[in-house]
Structure 1
Amino acid sequence: AYQALQTKVADGQENPLALIESAKFFEVQKFCSLTNHSWDGFWFVAGGKLWKSVPADLQQVITKHMNAAARKQRDDIARANIDVQKLLESKGLVFNTVDNTAFRRVLSSGGFYSQAKEKFGAEAWGLLQQYAGEIA
């Protein structure tokens, strides 16, 4: 991607800020638009047979602490992104904050949100909106 940006074969890339910094993309691109259009998280999973063998009270303890660790990880990433953005700005990268209203309007009118709600179900959709705010 670095060489493609450098030679103008590509005029953009999509990566987390930490990778933009570590790959030195700031050397070959002038602008960065913060769209917040995707989110990557870590999944904690266990095989069904193993999980069912764990007593219910221990499942609750494990779930409680894994969820707490996940929230802490998300907070850590948010803080790291602020620090990396400041670092990238100090190296000359100009950040554009995108107004997501038009983007969300197109997704909504195209049926993306209704399809996602149907695919994942009302409970999951409710949890998403609980933490992300009203989506559609």
Structure 2
Amino acid sequence: MRRTMLGLAVAVSAVLTALPAMAQVQERTIRWGHLNNTDHPVSLGVQKFAEVLAAKSGGKLKVREFPASQLGNEMQQQSAVRGGTQEVFSASTTSLAGVVKDLGLFDFPFIVASFDQATALADGAFGRAMMELLPEKDLIPLGYWGLGFRNVTNSRGPVAKVEDLAGLKLRVIPNPVYLETFKAFKANPVPMAFGELYTALENKTVDGQENPYSVILSNKFYEVQKYVSATNHTFTQNIIIVSKKFWDKLSPEEQKMFRDTYAETLQYQRDQTRRAADQALAELQAKGMQFNDIAPAEYARMQEAVKPVIDKFSAEYDPEKVKLFNAELARLRSTVK
């Protein structure tokens, strides 16, 4: 009997302890937008985040997902989050470089050679320093999700060496580093919003594009592209950004729930990204795309071709951030495979 009473007392005490914290949690609907379809690792990450956040908040904090650019293109959603009319956005570091220029360092070609190196760069001192710059731009970063390595597809022929890129009209993210990188390959880069890409490929407005395998599969680019080549030229990171105007309305307990949920679901999302890369490539081949790898010697030639791009843009960023970036690259290249 005493054991039963003691157990009941402990349970009641736990409930009473939790009540003040839960009293700080209000009913809220969080609009979370992104560019990808619902079968993509980003969407799977949002769905898992929503599930965990709802459980932590007793169902009060509800994430409503808006996939596939439903809330606008990347720049429109970024602006909406900064303005407070959208709560959360999975933003690429590429687009956020327009807000915090030094984030463009993530887009330098061939800086990392593996998922583990890309993760170490985002989670290390450089990645943290970049996130610290966002609150003054009305954005609260929760952390990084991986999108994966970007690879070239096109409708004209396989890309096995740098010369094969010459003359190809390729859609790229509207970002100076991407534009200059493909100009160094003698391609004709065309900046274009992602939502316009499928039609442009279908109409042959552009010959090809570059994206992670999972994006290529999810958006059915295999229907309008024949060749996919393992260029692995950059690794794209997402930053989960929350509107500061929304964040400042949250109680400390609600803010903690957001941060704890990110931490608890991070590995799940990254695992989905890794798994999707392998599965997507196999599916693309099964759907008729011709895949070709690139020989190490030819890959080295591609790396050599873009060194002037890295030198040029390094001179345009904050010297201290470039120093930290290069130090982090040196560290992870010697410690992470």
TM-score range, shorter chain: 0.5 to 0.7
Contact 1:6 1:28 in 2 (8 A): yes
Task: Give the counterpart of 1:5 among 201, 224, 228.
Answer: 201
Instruction: List gaps (5 residues or longer) in structure 1.
Output: 55-61
**Partner residue, 2:321:** 120
What is the alpha-carbon distance in structure 2 between the residues aligned to residue 78 and residue 117 of structure 1?
32
State the shift of 1:11 in Å. Answer: 0.7
CA-based RMSD of the aligned residues comes to 3.4
Answer yes or no: is 1:106 the counterpart of 2:305.
Answer: yes
For structure 2, the residue ranges without an aligned partner over 5 or more in a row are 1-196, 253-258
Higher strand share: 2
- Give the counterpart letter for 1:121 in structure 2: V
Q: 1:37 pairs with 202, 221, 233, which one?
A: 233
Residues 104-113 or 115-124, more deviating:
115-124
Q: Percent identity?
A: 29
The 5-angstrom pairing of residues 1-136 of structure 1 reads 1-43=197-239, 66=263, 70=266, 73-98=269-294, 99-110=298-309, 111-112=311-312, 115=315, 118=319, 120-131=321-332, 133=333
In structure 2, relative to structure 1, the CA distance for the partners of 1:43 and 1:8 (3 Å cut) is closer
Quickly say closer, same or farther: Cα 1:87–1:113, change in 2 above 3 A.
Answer: same
Give 1 or 2: higher helix fraction.
Answer: 1
Moved more, 14-23 or 108-117: 108-117
1-structure distance, mates of 2:304, 2:268: 31
**SS at the partner of 1:13?**
strand
Q: Which has the larger radius of gyration?
A: 2
User: What is the Cα deviation at residue 127 of structure 1?
Assistant: 1.6
- Secondary structure in 1 matching 2:327: helix
Amino acid of the structure 2 residue aligned with 1:101: A
Distance 2:201 2:324 in 1: 42
Deviation at 1:12, TM superposition (A): 0.2
Q: How many residues align?
A: 120
Q: Aligned equivalents of 1:9 and 1:45: distance in 2?
A: 33
Q: Which has the higher contact order (CA 8 A, sep 6+)?
A: 1
Structure 2 length normalisation: TM-score? 0.30
User: Compared with structure 1, are the counterparts of its residues 4 and 109 closer, same or farther at alpha carbon in structure 2 (3 Å cutoff)?
Assistant: closer
- Aligned residue identity for 2:326: W
Distance (whole Å) between structure 1 residues aligned to residue 230 and residue 314 of structure 2: 25
Paired amino acid for 1:87: E
